[in-house]
Amino acid sequence: MFNWKKDIGEQPIDTMLLFEERQLLYLPEHGKDRELAFVFRTRPYIKWFIMNKAPELSEWVDDLIAKYKDEVIPDDIEAIEKELICSMEDWVIYVTTPDDYHNQPFVNWDERELTDLTDYSGKTVVDIGSGTGKQAFAVAHLAKYVYCVEPVHNLRKYLRNRAKREEITNLYVVDGLLEDIPFHDGFADIAMCGHVFGDFL
């Protein structure tokens, strides 16, 4: 738990229905198998959602339910749901309140650390895993074009709204992943990424 949002535990377990396929695919590695099994048993619509949004997880979901089928579901299932939601704090914030991420102290770094690295003037820049746009907006006033590659729908919406609010007209937002960037070779002059979900390189 990152403590990015004080009331994260008040988010309903149904927030999982907002998760992207990319987020769901990390569930088997999340380390909350027992809690997830209970949720799948008590809220079958969440199970249905996951198996349809990410069909490759279907066998894993069924195996998980089978593994814990003989365990009695605790009376305090709400506490288990709260624990589960809190353990997914970053995912929850991305799909609900991105400002809670954007306002974190670690995002408030000096933009000159990026803008002084190279000359962005007249360049096409791709920001991979844009999130709330810290890097993209830092160079937008210098570059010719900035393309934000972001797989989370709610974050893409956040980026577009922010660009409109700040009257930035050379910034474009597209769906894409770190390992599947939606541009041809040689498209950009500069590529950048930082604090990217799933970046284990």
Over residues 179-193, the pLDDT tens digits come to 888 899 999 999 998
| pLDDT at position 197 over 70 | no
Mean pLDDT of all residues in the chain? 93
Determine which helix (DSSP H) or strand (DSSP E) holds 171, and give its type and residue range.
strand 171-174
pTM, to two decimals: 0.85
> Counting every residue, how long is the chain?
201
Output the pLDDT for position 1: 61
Output the pLDDT for position 199: 47
Q: What is the mean pLDDT of residues 65-83?
A: 95
| The last residue of a domain, from among 97, 122, 151 | 97
Q: Are residues 166 and 136 in the same domain?
A: yes
Neighbours of 87 (CB within 10 A): 16
Q: Would residue 2 count as lying in a domain?
A: no
Structurally, how many domains does the chain consist of?
2
Q: Would residue 162 be called left, alpha or beta, if left means φ above 0 and alpha means ψ between -120 and 50 degrees?
A: alpha
Q: Are residues 89 and 125 in the same domain?
A: no
Q: Are residues 13 and 92 in the same domain?
A: yes
Q: Would residue 54 count as lying in a domain?
A: yes
| The last residue of a domain, from among 97, 125, 141 | 97
Q: Would residue 3 count as lying in a domain?
A: no
Domain with 21, as residue range(s), is: 8-97
Determine which helix (DSSP H) or strand (DSSP E) holds 34, and give its type and residue range.
helix 33-42
Q: Domain of 176: which CATH number?
A: 3.40.50.150
| pLDDT at position 198 over 80 | no
Output the pLDDT for position 179: 80
Q: Dump pLDDT digits (tens) for 110-122.
A: 999 999 999 999 9
Rounded distance between C-alpha atoms, residue 99 and residue 165, angstroms? 14
Output the pLDDT for position 196: 59
Q: Are residues 155 and 128 in the same domain?
A: yes
| The last residue of a domain, from among 58, 78, 97 | 97
Q: Would residue 201 count as lying in a domain?
A: no
* C-beta of residue 4 within 8 angstroms of C-beta of residue 89: yes
Q: What is the mean pLDDT of residues 63-91?
A: 95
Q: What is the mean pLDDT of residues 22-43?
A: 95
Q: Would residue 200 count as lying in a domain?
A: no
Q: Are residues 50 and 84 in the same domain?
A: yes
Rounded distance between C-alpha atoms, residue 99 and residue 81, angstroms? 24
